[in-house]
Amino acid sequence: MDKKETDVFDVVEGLRSVDPDALEDFERVMTDEVIPEIVQTVEERRMLAAEYRELQLKP
Amino acid sequence: MKAVLIEENYVDKDYRSTYYNFYSKKGLRYRTDCVRLHFFDGTVRFDRKTLRLVSSVDQRLTDHYFGYMVLRPTGIVTIGRTVLSPDVRSGARGRIITANHKVHVLGYKLEVEGFPSMDQHHDIAVCAHVACWSVLRHYSEAYSIYREFLTYDITMMAQEFDPGGLVPSKGLQLSHAERVFQEAGTFPVLIARRKDVRTDASFYRQLLAYVESGFPLFAAMQSKQHAVAIIGYEWRAPLVTTVRGMRYAWDEVESFAVVDDNTLPYLSIPIKGGVPYSAEDVDSFIVALPEKVFYPADAVDRVAPTLFKLRHLVDLPAKDGVVIRYFMTTGSGFRQFVRSRESEFDPKLLETIMSLPFAQFIWIVEFATKSQWAVGQVAARAVIDATASLMDVMPLWLMHGYKKALVFSRRSLDFRSGGRDLQLSDMGHKGYTRMEQNLRSTRAK
């Protein structure tokens, strides 16, 4: 028989479920603004890194 | 530092690696051995008759030992492998990445905490090779999973194939340095400064974050065509004036410590306007990361201020005047830190931290008020999964202040139903201790 995996929520007393609606504003900002910005920034850094790879250091 | 022991006929593995593969092939005859200088305080003397090192204070020679410097028989640029304690380097300041280096001399086993450095050879190794060598030698001393690479190994690792005639007279490109770190088994990330903005603050915040995480950086300066290793930093004196808006730890940095093959180690460089260069001359760096770091500093830099959107669930300080600091550590390192200060934490929060199934690497974000920053304290802390995906809407494990904590077990993709909150009891303090585990404070001697 499979043993049930112990979850931190089962171990620590006093942890209460958070109303999912309380996370809604954060989720909206992450989805609409932050994640697209992160993806764009990471892509820009990747392109910049490609340019810098050819940078010549002093012989 | 008051005493120097001169060890003659020293067989230096780094010099030997260049001797066997380069100097021995030249018409000019070079010696095979080196001289090594060992540095002590004034309490240690050498007894020639018995070949003993004698301390007038106690027999713990390591407590009176400040490191060594190898002198190569190359005629020019003769300073070879060197590990010195930052405590005896005039001008070394702040917090510095170090490892414990074991040293054997006259049958004694000594130890020194420092960061490796050497002069470049010019003919077989240039500044970029030396910066790679310094970083990788630190890794092999600090972490058992990394093997040791000698000077000649580094020169060869930079090239896709053996170019013959090892003279790197054509110089080295950043891609070669990246290749060295890849070959060494690390996962290098090259981060470059944006050219389209006057000041790319995010670039420098990331640079500081990686150094604070204990990763020495291979830093390149296009304007100087030069590369160094950035290995530490110094905080500036706390501001007394009122500051508006959010600040970052980067705004509180006075100087960086670098290992530069043109100078003695632990050179302190200011943020701007310094000679021979300053931090603003650094326009790209390579951080040699371990495996399993998927969430980049760019993402943490953007997510950190967004965490204020959770203020209704966790008590964070006011945005105005807050100092945000982020860095990477291991889950076990974080638990160790919390355990060492357990009286600061509500027992339920401590139990949560000890029970959360953290990934091996985590990002820590700390929030401090201006007055807390001045005394090394923080008001709140967030733990972000360093294995999170860029598209992760909720990359958090945990966020806590004094009164409340928000916890995610990250056992399910459905984060909405996976959040828990925890009411914390008053632990009778005005700030948690800032977590500064990865670097060593310089103590001038």
**What's the whole-number average pLDDT of chain B?**
93
Same domain, B392 and B309: yes
Segment B121-147 mean pLDDT:
91
Residue B56, chain A, CB below 8 Å: the answer is no
Interface membership of B389 toward A (CB under 8 Å):
no
Q: Considering only CB atoms, which chain B residues are within 8 Å of A49?
A: 190-192, 284
Q: Which two tokens stand for residue B398?
A: 């945990």
Nearest CA in chain B to A58: B225
Q: What is the predicted pLDDT for the residue at B169?
A: 52
CA-based nearest distance B270→chain A, Å? 22
- Say yes or no for a CB contact (<8 Å) between B390 and A35: yes
With an 8 Å Cβ cutoff, is A30 touching chain B? Answer: yes
Section B220-227 average pLDDT: 91
Cis, bond preceding B357 (omega within 30 deg of 0): no
**Rounded-to-integer distance, Cα B276 and Cα B149, Å:** 29
Tell me, yes or no, whether B33 and B104 share the same domain: yes
Alpha-helical runs (H) found in B82-213: 127-142, 151-157, 174-183, 201-212
Domain limit, last residue, from B119, B142, B171: B171
| Predicted pLDDT at B111 | 97
Mean pLDDT of B270-286: 93
Residue B198 or residue B12, greater confidence: B12
A2 touches chain B (CB under 8 A): no
In a domain, residue B182? The reply is no
Residue B21 falls within a domain, yes or no? yes
Strand pairing of B396-400 and B377-378? unpaired
Please list, residue by residue across B7-46, b when 16 or more beta carbons sit within 10 angstroms of its beta carbon and e when fewer do: eeebebebbbbbbebbbeeeeeeeeeebbbbbbbbeebeb
- Domain stops at, among B259, B291, B323: B291
In a domain, B179, yes or no: no
Tell which B residues from 269 to 288 touch A, by Cβ distance under 8 Å.
283-284
Q: How confident is the model at residue B166 (pLDDT cuts 50, 70, 90)?
A: low
Look at residues B264, B291, B318 and tell me which one is the last residue of a structural domain.
B291
Within 150-169 of B, beta carbons closer than 8 Å to A belong to 168-169
Would residue B177 count as lying in a domain? no
Q: Taking the CA atoms of chain B, what radius of gyration do you get in angstroms?
A: 24
**CA B207/CA B278 separation, integer angstroms:** 14
Provide mean pLDDT across the span A35-49.
96
Query: Among A43-47, B196-200, B393-397, which is the least confidently predicted range?
Result: B196-200
B280 and B381 belong to one structural domain: no
pLDDT at position A10, please? 79
B219 CA to chain A: closest CA distance, Å?
Answer: 11
- The stretch B236-262 carries a mean pLDDT of 88
Cβ separation of A18 and B419 shorter than 8 Å? yes
Could you read off the pLDDT of B143-154 as tens digits, one per residue? Answer: 999 999 999 999
User: CB-based contact (8 Å) between A51 and chain B?
Assistant: yes
Domain that holds residue B32: 3-171
Q: Calculate the CA B305 to chain-centre distance.
A: 25
Q: What is the mean pLDDT of residues B134-142?
A: 97
Query: How far is the C-alpha of A53 from the C-alpha of A11, rounded, in Å?
Result: 49
**Domain of residue A43, residue span:** 19-59
In this prediction, residues B248-277 reach a mean pLDDT of: 94
- Helices marked H in B158-250 — which ranges? 174-183, 201-212
- A10 within domain boundaries: no
pLDDT tens, B193-202?
998 887 899 9
Residues B129 and B241 in one domain: no
A24 to chain B, minimum CA–CA distance in Å? 8
User: pLDDT per residue over A1-40, tens digit each?
Assistant: 455 667 778 788 889 999 999 999 999 999 999 999 999 9
B445 within some domain: no
The verdict on B238 and B334 lying in the same domain is: no
Dist. CA B89–CA B266, nearest whole Å = 7
Please indicate, yes or no, whether residues B16 and B144 belong to a single structural domain of this protein. Answer: yes
Residues in chain B: 445
The tokens for B276 are 């021979």
CATH number of the domain residue B247 falls in: 3.90.70
Same domain, B233 and B325: no
Contact residues, chain A, for B296 at CB < 8 Å = 42
Which of the four pLDDT bands, split at 50, 70 and 90, describes residue B40?
very high
Q: Is B167 a residue whose pLDDT tops 70? A: no
Question: Is residue A59 in a domain?
Answer: yes
Please tell me the distance from the alpha carbon of residue A52 to that of residue B49, in angstroms, as a whole number: 58
The 3-state DSSP class for residue B359 equals: coil
Q: What is the dihedral of CA A3, A18, B329, B246, to 10 degrees?
A: 170
What pLDDT score does B330 carry?
A: 96
B71 Cβ contact partners less than 8 Å away, ≥ 6 residues apart: B34, B35, B36, B37, B78, B79, B80
Q: Say yes or no: B425 and B335 in one domain.
A: yes
The tally of domains found in chain B comes to 3
pLDDT higher than threshold 80 for residue B243: no
Question: Does residue A9 fall inside a structural domain?
Answer: no
Considering the domain boundaries, does residue A14 fall inside one? no
Q: Quick one: pLDDT band at residue A58, thresholds 50, 70, 90?
A: confident
Q: Is B350 on the interface with A (CB under 8 A)?
A: no
User: B360 with B388, same domain?
Assistant: yes
Alpha carbons B408 and B401: distance in angstroms, whole number: 15
pLDDT tens track for B302-316: 999 999 999 999 999
Integer Cα distance of B69 and B25 in angstroms: 26
Q: Which residues in chain B have their CB less than 8 angstroms from residue A53's CB?
A: 173-175, 178, 190
Q: What are phi and psi of B250, to 5 degrees?
A: -55, -35
| Lookup: tokens for B269 | 């460089």
Q: Taking a C-beta distance cutoff of 8 angstroms, is the pair B310, A26 a contact?
A: yes
Q: What is the pLDDT of residues B401-445, one digit of tens each?
A: 999 999 998 888 888 878 999 999 999 988 999 999 889 999 887
Q: Check CB contact under 8 Å for A52 and B351.
A: no
